[in-house]
Amino acid sequence: MSGKASIEAGKTALGIEFGSTRIKAVLVDETHAPVAMGTHDWENRLENHIWTYSLEDIWGGLQDCYASLLKDVSEKYGITLKTIGSIGFSGMMHGYMAFDAQGELLVPFRTWRNTMTGEACKVLSPLFGFNIPQRWSIAHLYQAILSKEAHVKDITFFTTLAGFIHWKLSGEKVLGVGEASGMFPIDSVTGNYDAKMLGQFDELVKGEGFAWKLGDILPKVLNAGEKAGCLTAEGAKLLDVSGNLQAGIPMCPPEGDAGTGMVATNSVKVRTGNVSAGTSVFSMVVLEKAMKKAYEEIDMVTTPDGMPVAMVHCNNCTSDLNAWVNLFDEFADTFGMKIDKNDLYGTLYRKALEADCDCGGLVAYNCFSGEPVVGLNEGRPMFVRMPDAKFSLANFMRSHLYSALAALKVGNDILLKEEKVEVDSLMGHGGLFKTPVVGQQILAAALNAPVTVMDTASEGGPWGMAVLAAYMMEKEAGETLPDYLSNRIFAGQTGTTIAPKAEDVAGFDAFVAKYVSTLPAEQAAVVGMK
């Protein structure tokens, strides 16, 4: 069928993902190829020392993104989008959205970017014998309890951004297991929240006198492929302000951006991994056996079908890189030079490949926000060099590309070198890889492993979410998600693989040694610059 025929027949699946800087919608046909897209740019804000997006940001952004999709459909095919085969929503994992009995948000949305829950994590991690990162929803809840926040007694439900959107559009308080694993630990045997840990938490807070038990206010956990409700009439009006979208469209379990990244890179099998590099950066490796112990630097989450995953999540990746590219753009503009932004990024990134492998004595810290993997509760972007350093544009750009992946390397050195975890394939996706070769070569050096970027990598998480929505409708009896992806989605797909160069690996190691040894200066900047 043509794209137009697929849309008119409702033989489509829609994925919408709330990223840190962009909300993106991807509509795919029955071959899972994108036939239309929509976007909306947005940005979090720091209010009262909390990184947040307002409800107006969320709903206005979603509606504008969907309107952008409608416009794309109209311009390409001359038709009005009225129905869709299935829909799925995904978003930034973790964070905290708490609601009362009337469904009202009790406190502003606290995003994954906040590093304000250290006190809670120091209690929960040893209690559970399981690493609880600062950005996890349970850490935010317990920190609110420790801080004696008045709203906690009124909570009847708390969830993530993706869970919130799904709830308001379908009426269902559910999460996909991958997204749920970033709220509270999952028992990989039962595929549900860890019952022992739920009991431990309830016992921990029983003296507070809350009317709720933790299991009662968490979303229900669903596996990939399960039905998660349908778009209600109210939900259809909320999504499509034009009023043309029909209610009753099946919806799949909402997932996190980590899960959609795994799907988009065919990285849900055991011994596969992927790295998503954009505003934040994280690696996901599907494990074949449990690790020897818990590490603060490594999170245990799951694939969308419930397999255990070792995740190294870093809050900062390309934000500082983008800031410097914007500065160069401003410089060019001052001299009347109009340079296409994509050309500017490509030229500067490629320049980094001419640099000394160790950046010639330059060290950069890309920390816009805190970076728990290296012990930072707050961040201050910083650039440091020796007086006799080789201060060239190439070394400058390479130092910032290294900085974007330095914390990721620190965490993965534990996983790959200490735990001896084996990875058969490592896929890269996200904005860092938009310029061919450069991001791949830098990541290969950081992790000392070959890195592949698939032809479909640019489709990203929204496409992965659309694929999950299609899987719910198309899977056959007993067909697993890995089989569905390998046999129906990625069969015949090609990609580019770059192996690490020994000199690059040695250079990155030397850079990270300076990066770690100079961390006290970054910590001093946090204290001194308020």
User: For residue 105, is it within any domain?
Assistant: yes
User: For residue 109, is it within any domain?
Assistant: yes
Which DSSP category does 150 fall into?
A: G
Element containing residue 41 per DSSP (H, E): strand 34-41
Give yes or no for a contact between 15 and 65, defined as CB atoms under 8 angstroms apart.
no
What was the pLDDT predicted at 292?
79
The contacts of residue 274 (CB under 8 Å, 6+ apart) are: 261, 262, 265, 267, 283, 284, 426, 427, 428, 429
Q: What pTM did the predictor assign?
A: 0.83
Show the low-confidence residues of the chain (pLDDT under 50).
none
User: For residue 394, is it within any domain?
Assistant: no
Residue 453 bridge partners (DSSP): 496
Q: What token pair was written down for 228?
A: 């998660």
- The boundaries of the domain holding residue 31 are 3-256
What was the pLDDT predicted at 459?
62
Q: What token pair was written down for 294?
A: 């818990």
**How far is Cα 10 from Cα 325, in angstroms, rounded to an integer?**
42
User: For residue 469, is it within any domain?
Assistant: no
What was the pLDDT predicted at 279?
87
Handedness of CA 151, 156, 162, 164 (dihedral sign): negative
User: For residue 171, is it within any domain?
Assistant: yes
Per-residue b or e along 418-438, where b marks 16 or more CB atoms closer than 10 Å to that residue's CB? ebebebebbbbbbbbbbbeeb
What was the pLDDT predicted at 246?
97
Element containing residue 169 per DSSP (H, E): helix 161-170
Instruction: Determine phi and psi for 445, rounding to 5 degrees.
Output: -70, -40
User: For residue 494, is it within any domain?
Assistant: no
What was the pLDDT predicted at 494?
78
What was the pLDDT predicted at 118?
93
SS3 call for 341: helix
**How far is Cα 327 from Cα 425, in angstroms, rounded to an integer?**
36
**Measured at the alpha carbon of residue 202, what is the angle toward residues 196 and 203, in degrees to the nearest 5?**
90
**Measured at the alpha carbon of residue 114, what is the angle toward residues 113 and 116, in degrees to the nearest 5?**
160
User: For residue 474, is it within any domain?
Assistant: no
CATH number of the domain encompassing residue 7: 3.30.420.40
**How far is Cα 207 from Cα 152, in angstroms, rounded to an integer?**
14
The contacts of residue 499 (CB under 8 Å, 6+ apart) are: 444, 450
Residue 96 bridge partners (DSSP): 110
Q: What is each CA distance from 461 to 75, 260, 276, 277, 300, in whole angstroms? A: 24, 5, 9, 12, 20
Give the count of domains, the chain. 1
| Nearest one of 64, 76, 1, 68 to 32, comparing CA atoms | 1
Q: What token pair was written down for 101?
A: 């009995």
Which amino acid belongs to residue 277? A
224-227 long-range contacts (CB < 8 A, ≥24 apart) are 224/176, 224/177, 224/178, 224/252, 224/253, 224/255, 224/303, 224/304, 224/305, 224/468, 224/471, 224/472, 224/481, 225/252, 225/305, 225/471, 225/472, 225/475, 225/481, 226/252, 226/253, 226/472, 227/252, 227/472
Q: What token pair was written down for 349?
A: 């990134």
User: For residue 189, is it within any domain?
Assistant: yes
